[in-house]
Amino acid sequence: MTTGTTRKVLLLPGDGIGPEVMAPVAELLLELAKRKVLPVEVREGLIGGAAYDKTGHPLPPETVSLALDSDAVLLAAVGGPRYDTLPYEHRPERALLGIREKLGAFANLRPAKLIPQLANASTLKPEVIAGLDLLVVRELTGGIYFGAPRGIVTENGVRVGINTERYSEPEIERIARVAFTVARNRRKKVTSVDKANVLESSVLWREVVTRVQKDFPEVALDHMYVDNAAMQLVRNPGQFDVIVTGNIFGDILSDEASQLTGSIGMLASASVGGRTGLFEPIHGSAPDIAGKDMANPSAMFLSFAMLLDHSLREPGLARSLERGVESVLGEGIRTKDIAEPGSQVVGCAEMGRRITRAFWTHHEKGADKT
C-alpha cells in the first residue's frame, strides 16, 4: 500500500481507437484510487480531432493548463481521415507537438523489446530478433520539427517549402545525458545516430555526445550514420542497446524498431524531461478499426506502466502490470492484430478485463514487492 500525497493524472483519450484503449486503463486507475493502492486524482481532457470538433482547436488552452497542473499525462492517440484536410495549425498532429513542447518533454523513450510469447509476430527470422531489447532515446522538442525559419513562401514567383534542422549544444547535451543515464541500468551501450558526413547540426551533435560520454565512463559509445543505422536495425538489431538520436531520425528509426517486434500494438513510450511526463502508445489512432472493439489495449496498459515507473515512482505496480500483460499473452489470449493459430481472439474490452484481472492477481500475490 502506497502512502503520500495525491498525484494527479490527466487522461487524454483523443481520436480513433484512443477512447477504446483508454477505457480499461481509466477503469484500472480509478480502481487503484478507490482501493487506496494509489493516491491519485484522475482527470480527463480533450485533444486532437475530438478537441477540434468541440472547441475548434486540437489543443485547447484548458488541456494545456490541466496538463501543466498534473504529475503525468496519459495520451491514447490522435488523428483521423476527417481531419487530414484541415489547415496545418488545426491538424490533430499539431496538438501532439504542442503538448510535448508545453510540457518540456524533450526526451522520448521508445523501448522495443521482444515479448517471447509473440516471437512469431515479427516478419524477421526468429534468430535475427531473438532477445531483442533496445531503447530509442529520441530528442523530441527540437531539430527540424521546431527549427526556424519554416514555412511555404514564394520566391520570384516560385513556391518554396522550408524547414530548418537545428540543435544547440545544451539541447544535445541534455538528451545525451538521458541516454547515458538510462544505459547505465541496461547493457551500458549507447549508439548515437546522426548524419555527420553531410549535416553541420550532426557534426555538433557527434562532438557534444562524445564529450558527455566522458562523464559516463562505464557506458560504451559508438556513432552511426542514420542510413547505416536503418540498415543495421533489420540486419542485426541485437547489436543495439540504447540508440540516441535527433527528432526526425528518431521518428523514423523508432517506427522501424517497433516493427522488429512485429506488434506495434504492444509498444509504449514515455516523453520526459519536464515536471510532467507524457506517456503514450506508439501506435496511432487506427481509424479503420475504430469503434469495432478490435483494438489491442496492451500498449496503453504498458504506457500506464511506464507512467507508474517514471512519474509516480511506483515500480512495483508497474512490474505487476507488465507481468499481467505477459501472463494474458502466455494463456494464448490475443487481440486480432497479434493472433496466432491456436490462440483465442478477444475484443479490446475483453482483453482489457483480462489484463486488469491478471494485474490484480500479480499485485495480490505481492509480486509488486519482488
Of the candidates 52, 83, 194, 195, the residue annotated as catalytic is 195
User: What is the CB neighbour count within 10 angstroms for residue 288?
Assistant: 11
Q: How many residues bind Mg ion (CB under 5 A)?
A: 1
Q: Which of these segments, 84-92, 192-200, 222-230, 251-259, binds Mg ion (CB under 5 A)?
A: 251-259
In angstroms, what is the minimal distance from the CB of 239 to Mg ion? 23
**Using rule CB under 5 A, residue 251 touches Mg ion:** yes
Q: Considering the complex, state which of residue 93 and residue 350 has its C-beta at the smaller distance from ligand IPM.
A: 93
In angstroms, what is the minimal distance from the CB of 244 to Mg ion? 17
Whether 133 sits among the annotated catalytic residues: the reply is no
Query: Between vectors from CA 272 to CA 170 and to CA 262, what angle results, nearest 5°?
Result: 115
Report residue 232: phi and psi, to 5°. -60, -30
Q: Which of these segments, 11-19, 64-72, 89-97, 289-297, binds ligand IPM (CB under 6 A)?
A: 89-97
- Please answer whether residues 202 and 192 qualify as being in contact, where contact means their C-beta atoms are separated by less than 8 angstroms: no
Of the candidates 251, 309, 337, 368, the residue annotated as catalytic is 251
Q: Considering the complex, state which of residue 39 and residue 98 has its C-beta at the smaller distance from ligand IPM.
A: 98
Helix H or strand E encompassing 32? helix 18-34
Site for ligand IPM in 94-123 (CB under 6 A): 96-97
Q: Give the Cα separation of 285 and 21 in Å (integer).
A: 10
Half-sphere exposure in the Cβ direction for 229 (13 Å, CA): 27
Residue 354: all three cell numbers together: 483480462
Question: In sequence order, what DSSP letters do the residues of 141-175 get, joined into one string?
Answer: SSGGGT-SS-EEEEETTEEEEE------HHHHHHH
- Please answer whether residues 326 and 296 qualify as being in contact, where contact means their C-beta atoms are separated by less than 8 angstroms: no
- Please answer whether residues 347 and 293 qualify as being in contact, where contact means their C-beta atoms are separated by less than 8 angstroms: yes
Of the candidates 255, 288, 292, 365, the residue annotated as catalytic is 255
Question: 322 touches which of ligand IPM, Mg ion, none (CB within 5 to 8 A by kind)?
Answer: none
**Using rule CB under 6 A, residue 251 touches ligand IPM:** yes
Residues that bind Mg ion (CB under 5 A): 251
Active site residues: 145, 195, 227, 251, 255
The contact set with ligand IPM (CB under 6 A) reads 93, 96-97, 251
